[in-house]
């Protein structure tokens, strides 16, 4: 079993798009949204109450990886996190299909590397990368695999090169769909249901030894 890696008094930062955002309120200092960051922070705060861990959510709905980079100093580096968790990439795929605005995959990978280089060089934080995913609900989401699959491979390369803790979420959710239909986990194939968010939280907590 993995030893719990978050030390007392540390700051955990969640970054990403709407899946991470989870409907955050106007006070980013305290609102964790309704999604997996809320489940994680609530569970670990209860289990390790004496640790006084500081959880921060800076996910923003609609973000692509270029949007993360544009706000990375303010919404990551300046926070001085001890652990940074990132889930990004599905909007880079989605905009290709709904707006004819593709995101170049080599640049996606290069941008991801720039973000992680900053984290390592300026904060020394532990990095968790959550794999982007899409489920076949509705059926037209199957076409998205053409764009998302190579983006997932890029994400895996970046995680390996930077020694990140990696959560293979696309595969985890695919396995979960053998137990229940895809819409049970994410009705539109992208945004998790409460059960989907809980599954992500369980895998995340397992990854940190919690």
The residue among 125, 132, 113 whose CA lies nearest residue 69 is: 113
18 is catalytic: yes
Selected catalytic residue, list 18, 41, 85, 137: 18
Given the residues 31, 67, 75, 188, the one annotated as active site: 188
The single residue of 51, 61, 75, 191 carrying the catalytic annotation is 191
CA–CA dist 64, 57 (Å, integer): 16
Catalytic, 191? Answer yes
The answer to whether 103 is a known catalytic residue is no
User: Which of 135, 114, 116 is CA-nearest to residue 126?
Assistant: 116
H/E segment holding residue 13: strand 11-16
Instruction: Tokens for 180, please give them.
Output: 């229940």
Which residue, among 177, 196, 176, 171, has the nearest Cα to 186 in the 3D structure? 196
Kindly list the catalytic residues: 18, 188, 191
């Amino acid at each position: 079993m993995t030893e719990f890696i978050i030390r007392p008094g540390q700051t955990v930062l969640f970054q990403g798009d709407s899946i991470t955002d989870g409907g955050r309120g106007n006070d980013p200092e305290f609102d964790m949204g309704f999604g997996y960051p809320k489940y994680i922070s609530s569970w670990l705060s209860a289990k390790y109450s004496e640790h006084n861990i500081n959880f921060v959510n800076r996910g923003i709905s609609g973000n692509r990886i270029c949007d993360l980079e544009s706000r990375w100093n303010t919404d990551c580096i300046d926070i001085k996190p001890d652990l940074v968790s990132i889930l990004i990439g599905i909007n880079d795929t989605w905009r290709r299909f709904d707006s004819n605005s593709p995101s170049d995959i080599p640049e996606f990978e290069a941008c991801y590397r720039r973000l992680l280089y900053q984290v390592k060089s300026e904060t020394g934080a532990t990095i968790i990368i959550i794999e982007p995913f899409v489920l076949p609900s509705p059926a037209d989401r199957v076409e998205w695999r053409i764009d998302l699959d190579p983006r997932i491979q890029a994400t895996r390369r970046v995680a390996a090169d930077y020694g990140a803790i990696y959560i293979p979420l696309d595969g985890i959710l695919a396995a979960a769909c053998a137990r229940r239909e895809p819409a049970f986990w994410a009705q539109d194939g992208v945004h998790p249901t409460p059960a989907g968010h809980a599954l992500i939280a369980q895998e995340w907590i397992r990854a940190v030894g919690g």
